[in-house]
Amino acid sequence: MKNLYNLTVPLRDGITLAADRYGPAGDAPAPAIVLGTPYGKNDPRRPAQAALMAERGYAVLIYDVRGRGDSDGVFEPYRNEGRDGYDVIEWVAAQDWCDGSVASWGGSYSGHAQWLTALEKPPHLRAIVAYATPSDPFVDFPTGTRLPQEVCWYRMVDRRALQNVTGIDWNAVYSHLPLYTMDEAAGFVSAAWRADIGHAPGDTEYWAPLAYQQKLSVVDVPALHITGWYDDVQPGTLRNFAAMVSKAPTEKARRAQRLVMGPWGHDAGRAGGRKIGDVDFGDHAEDVEVTEFELRFLDHHLRGIDNGVDREARARLFLMGRGEWRDADEWPLPETVWTSLYLRSAGDANTRGGGGRLTTDAPASEEPTDTYRYDPADPVPFLTEPTSMQIGGPDDYAEVEDRDDVLVYLGPELGEPLTVIGPVRAELFVGSDAPDTDFTAKLVDVAPDGVRRRLCDGIVRARYREGFATERTLRPGVVYRVEVDMWSTAHEFSVGHRVGLEISSSAFPKYDRNQNTGGSIVHGTEPRVAHNEIWHGPERPSRLILPVIPGLDPV
Whole-angstrom distance, CA of residue 420 vs CA of residue 229 = 13
Other Cβ atoms within 10 Å of 211 Cβ, number: 17
Round to whole Å and give the CA distance between 66 and 73.
5
Residue 491 designated active-site: no
- The CB density around residue 189, as the number of other CB atoms within 10 Å, is 11
Strand pairing class (407-410; 279-280)? unpaired
Residues whose CB falls within 8 Å of the CB of residue 440, separated by 6 or more in sequence, listed in order:
380, 457, 458, 459, 484, 502, 503, 504, 505, 506, 507, 511
Short-list 79, 78, 85, CA closest to 9: 85
Of the candidates 20, 196, 231, 370, the residue annotated as catalytic is 231
**Which residue among 71, 101, 104, 108 is the active-site one?**
108
Catalytic residue flag (residue 112): no
Residue 96: CB atoms within 10 A of its CB come to 7
Run of H or E residues at 194: helix 191-197
Q: Provide DSSP, 228-277.
A: ETT-TTHHHHHHHHHHHHHH-SSHHHHHTEEEEEES--TTTTTT-SSEET
Let me know if 231 is a catalytic residue. yes
Collect all residues with Cβ–Cβ distance below 8 Å to 486 and sequence separation of at least 6: 423, 424, 425, 426, 441, 442, 443, 456, 457, 458
Among 112, 225, 266, 491, which one carries the catalytic annotation? 266
Residues belonging to the active site? 108, 231, 266
